[in-house]
Amino acid sequence: MAEFTAKDVMKLREQTGAGMMDCKKALVDADGDFGKAADLLRERGIAKAAKRASKIAAEGVVYALVEGKTGVLVEVNCESDFVAKGDKFRDIVHAVAEQIVKTEPADVAALLASDMGGKTVDTYIQEQVGIIGEKISVRRFTLCKAEGFIETYIHMGGTMGVMLNFSCPETEKSKELAHNIALHTAFSKPAYLTKDEVEPETIEKEKAILTQEVINEGKPAAIAEKIVMGKIGKFYEENCLLEQKFVKDDKVTISRLIKDAGLPETALHCFVFYVMGLGLEKKNEDLSEEVAKQVEAMKK
């Protein structure tokens, strides 16, 4: 049997889009012949994913799963809104979320390499790509383990998701509080939980920008610093969850809302907030351009 290296396996994976184990098996079955291995993957239906390799997976869903005191928030992407709304894609996302809860991987790479009933998650996803006909990618996930309970909220079928980790006991009152804070988080989109989480560099940069802004407005230097500090307070109020005014009652902050429920501020241990597709490029093509491409493809 001809020998092949790990680089050969990687090269075959990049060319075909198939999973690592499938590529390795194909090379073994093809006695190390790269071309034959690629053909074998096509014959087995695994290389269908290769056609999707250059596609942009900018649709998809944010999905939440809670099992006991463990919760996961995960974003899985595909190419079209039509597929993202389908039951098959949702089943795939659920299976991935269950795998995260079960194996507790450190990151996406570890997740894709983890065993899923005799095959890796990477292989499982590539098989699903062959069935659905669109590129599928696990973009990110966060796994939380709670001392108290996990609260989640998914907005509009997966356009955004929130996961809250509470250290207090789960009661009817604390669950109602958690639900309200989850809804608020989806609306207000905080970047931090507390003021202490904001990096000093971020504040210094903000101060520099605000100071220049105040100077440009012609404010006297004697009161400039006071004005800037007031604006920094506004920055905290807008970006830190516990400092934000509750969306249903702007007379109370989230911190006060928690205290009024008889809980310490620290009862909310942490939060996670995902917006589906944030930062991903979406491919836009007009109809005439798409038709022209299809006609050209038919001529080949």
The domain locations on the chain are 6-52, 195-265
Instruction: Find, among 258, 231, 229, 230, the residue nearest to 242 by Cα.
Output: 258
Confidence at residue 3, expressed as pLDDT on a 0 to 100 scale:
78
pLDDT digits 0-9 by tens, 83-99 = 999 999 999 999 999 99
DSSP 220: -
**Does the pLDDT of residue 234 top 70, yes or no?**
yes
Confidence at residue 80, expressed as pLDDT on a 0 to 100 scale:
92
**Does the pLDDT of residue 40 top 70, yes or no?**
yes
Q: Determine what percent of the chain is predicted with pLDDT higher than 90.
A: 64
Q: Of 13 and 59, which is predicted with more confidence?
A: 59
Residue type, 80: S
**What's the CATH architecture for 195-265?**
Orthogonal Bundle (1.10)
pLDDT digits 0-9 by tens, 183-218 = 999 999 999 999 999 999 999 999 988 888 888 888
pLDDT band at 281 (very low <50, low <70, confident <90, very high): low
pTM of the model: 0.75
> Are 6-52 and 195-265 the same fold in CATH?
no
Cα–Cα distance for residue pair 15/11, rounded to 1 Å: 6
Rounded to the nearest integer, the mean pLDDT of the chain is 88
**Does the pLDDT of residue 298 top 60, yes or no?**
no
Q: How many CB atoms within 10 Å of residue 121?
A: 23
CATH classification of 6-52 is 2.40.170.20, yes or no?
Answer: no
**Does the pLDDT of residue 295 top 50, yes or no?**
no
Residue type, 170: E
